[in-house]
A and B are shown apart, each in its own frame.
Chain A
Amino acid sequence: MSTAPAPARAAREVYRDTVAELLPGEPRLVVLDSDTGLFGGVDFGSAADRYLNLGIAEHTLMGTAAGLAREGRIPLVNTMAAFASSRAVEAVKIDIAMGNLPVLIAATHSGVSAGHLGPTHHALEDLAVMRALPHMTVVVPGDAAGTGELLRQALTLGGPVYFRLGRGATPDLPAGPPLRLGKAQQLRHGTDVTLAACGPYPTLAALEAADLLECEGITANVLHLHTVKPLDTPALLSSLGVRDTVITVEEHWSSGGFGSAVAEALSAVRPVRVHRMALPDEFVPVAGSQRYLLERGGVSARAIAERARDSLVSRSGGTR
């Protein structure tokens, strides 16, 4: 992704700043932290009693949020994606999702954004886990720029939200249509293939793949789906037109995540070929930056373009 723009800001920092801005004016909001350090130095002013650090205790973090939500509060809980979606998931399932409670789980360090922190801190199963839970809305902001807006919308839903954030700064996506929770953003129009992307680098890789393909006379639709659940199936279908191929791109293991969600949704309506660009079914055994680990796993502009090319060839009856 040599032509990708430079990283701008970290989505989790925009999340933090937005929370600090919202907290004083909305007395129902309560921030529960689990020693993440994200809120270090933040002055909540008159709302300081509604920031509570429970320490390194993720199950209790979720249960406590559920208790507060049952008493009319809107808790925002903060932990890393790996801990929210694996360690604490039973509390998320039983205490939060079952009650359809308005708890926003802000999960940082998602995907391989923890980089050299290693597989204990990578979260490549979280979309599969969270979207499997009834009532759960699953949101993946594509960049820092859109994070505040999606957060504000998510807090009005009145139900549980998994809000998936990365660790470090990522480049901002090019401007697109207004961000609406549950609605896909069409970032590029094309006629030959649909690239459906989720997450910062996957979406950038899809856009760059569209550039590569355009050089060869292939035009691609690029859809940015920041909401994995509920999935904007109508937008996917209309982007397909008469075509029957979609390539999904995500920062997740290949099973159960965004690509699976797209395949499930589309297969119920049309016979569509869904090619999933995702990380292979293995723990990531090496250090590296988020971008490096994704490219190593095959989530890169070049690989996407190649897959798109292949799908067009195979569809037209050609052979490789």
Chain B
Amino acid sequence: MCAGPEGGHLGGSMSLVEILSVLYFRVMRHDPRFPGLPERDVLLLSKGHGGIALFATLCEAGYFPAEVLDEYARPGSHFMAHPHPEIPGVEIASGSLGHGLALGVGYALANRLDGSDRRSFVVMGDGELQEGSVWEAASVASAHRLNSLTAIVDRNGLQITGGTESVNSLEPLADRWRAFGWRVLEADGHDTEELTRALTLPADPQAPTVIIAHTVKGKGVPFVEGQARSHYARLNGRQHLRALNAVRASTGGERR
């Protein structure tokens, strides 16, 4: 999608791939044949600029065939840079930052009212945590002890204009979440085993859980890895091939 005429959010999508993969292929209860199934667990991609990673994951999970991704950013397509609920499997429109956690609070409250053990996962960018609304929702979630709610912070340390710590520092990030009454777990966001362990731990009965997933922006794309300039990219033909080859090499060449 980043090789198309409009390009895409490459860096923040590549940092998310393992997080979304573990959620959709190991952790969440969901059925691609019935995207609105009442018993499903939900994923809210609050960092909507990771949309193309979500689209690729949903495609891989069987929500729609790969061909439709060719429509990405074409006139008339629902596949825009940011997720939209017209796309099968996408719960909410996101892209404006700082919205997802409050929606997650709503989903978790609905679960509680239904007496359901369904879980709600909200994936946020670390730069997104600079939005005050995130902390407003974090406070409400812990005040109401929403233990079916799990937030995952894609801690890649970069935002458009540079490092998060130089733009508007987030550290001590784990302590901030603890101070807001959350159980805090940390994981290597590219290590699927670590992520699986963190995401399948029994709930803390008293608190929502946040997983700070340490990631690398642009992971797997050598010429932008760890660089703020990967935030939005339009890959030319040569870059596209290099990126694909690097990803294939790192996954043992497997391709569905």
**Which residues of A line the B interface, CB within 8 A?**
30, 49-50, 52, 54-55, 57, 59-73, 75, 90-91, 94-95, 98-99
Minimum CB–CB distance for B124 against chain A, Å: 13
Minimum CB–CB distance for B28 against chain A, Å: 16
In the complex, the chain B residue whose C-beta lies closest to that of A62 is B102
Indicate if the CB atoms of B93 and A98 lie closer than 8 Å: yes
Q: Count of A-B contacts with CB under 8 A?
A: 97
> Given A59-B133, A59-B136, A95-B92, does the pair A52, B144 have CB atoms closer than 8 Å?
yes
Which residues of chain B are near A68, meaning CB under 8 Å?
106-107, 109-110
The CA of A99 and the CA of B106, in the complex, are separated in Å by 14
Indicate if the CB atoms of A60 and B113 lie closer than 8 Å: no
In the complex, the chain B residue whose C-beta lies closest to that of A64 is B106
Which residues of chain B are near A98, meaning CB under 8 Å?
93
Minimum CB–CB distance for A68 against chain B, Å: 4
> Given A55-B143, A57-B136, A59-B102, does the pair A99, B109 have CB atoms closer than 8 Å?
no
Interface residue B140 (Cβ < 8 Å from any Cβ of A): yes
Which residues of chain A are near B57, meaning CB under 8 Å?
none
Indicate if the CB atoms of B105 and A64 lie closer than 8 Å: yes
Indicate if the CB atoms of A71 and B110 lie closer than 8 Å: yes
Partner of A60, one of B38, B85, B96, B105: B105
Indicate if the CB atoms of B99 and A57 lie closer than 8 Å: no
Indicate if the CB atoms of A49 and B104 lie closer than 8 Å: no
The CA of A54 and the CA of B99, in the complex, are separated in Å by 16
Which residues of chain B are near A94, meaning CB under 8 Å?
93, 96, 99
The CA of A69 and the CA of B109, in the complex, are separated in Å by 11
Indicate if the CB atoms of B102 and A63 lie closer than 8 Å: yes
Ranked nearest first, the 6 interchain pairs of A and B with the lowest CB-CB distance are A67-B106, A63-B102, A71-B110, A64-B106, A67-B103, A60-B102
Which residues of chain A are near B104, meaning CB under 8 Å?
67
Q: Among B108, B109, B111, B139, which residue has the most Cβ atoms of chain A within 10 A?
A: B109
Which residues of chain A are near B133, meaning CB under 8 Å?
59-60, 63, 91
**Which residues of B line the A interface, CB within 8 A?**
38, 85, 91-93, 96, 98-99, 101-111, 113-114, 120, 133, 136-137, 139-140, 143-144
Indicate if the CB atoms of B103 and A95 lie closer than 8 Å: yes
Which residues of chain A are near B113, meaning CB under 8 Å?
30, 49-50, 73
Indicate if the CB atoms of A72 and B92 lie closer than 8 Å: no
The CA of A54 and the CA of B140, in the complex, are separated in Å by 6
Indicate if the CB atoms of A91 and B102 lie closer than 8 Å: yes
Indicate if the CB atoms of B110 and A73 lie closer than 8 Å: yes
The CA of A73 and the CA of B107, in the complex, are separated in Å by 10
Indicate if the CB atoms of B110 and A60 lie closer than 8 Å: no
Indicate if the CB atoms of B92 and A70 lie closer than 8 Å: yes
Indicate if the CB atoms of A95 and B110 lie closer than 8 Å: no
Minimum CB–CB distance for B242 against chain A, Å: 36
Indicate if the CB atoms of B143 and A99 lie closer than 8 Å: no
In the complex, the chain B residue whose C-beta lies closest to that of A65 is B106
Indicate if the CB atoms of A57 and B140 lie closer than 8 Å: yes
Indicate if the CB atoms of B106 and A72 lie closer than 8 Å: no
Which residues of chain B are near A61, meaning CB under 8 Å?
102
Which residues of chain A are near B99, meaning CB under 8 Å?
63, 90-91, 94-95
Indicate if the CB atoms of A99 and B102 lie closer than 8 Å: no
Which residues of chain B are near A69, meaning CB under 8 Å?
106
The CA of A68 and the CA of B111, in the complex, are separated in Å by 9
Minimum CB–CB distance for A246 against chain B, Å: 38
In the complex, the chain A residue whose C-beta lies closest to that of B94 is A94
Minimum CB–CB distance for A254 against chain B, Å: 30
Minimum CB–CB distance for A77 against chain B, Å: 11
In the complex, the chain B residue whose C-beta lies closest to that of A90 is B96
Which residues of chain A are near B91, meaning CB under 8 Å?
70
Which residues of chain B are near A70, meaning CB under 8 Å?
91-92, 103, 106-107
> Given A52-B144, A91-B99, does the pair A63, B93 have CB atoms closer than 8 Å?
no
The CA of A71 and the CA of B103, in the complex, are separated in Å by 11
Which residues of chain B are near A95, meaning CB under 8 Å?
92-93, 99, 102-103
Indicate if the CB atoms of A67 and B109 lie closer than 8 Å: yes
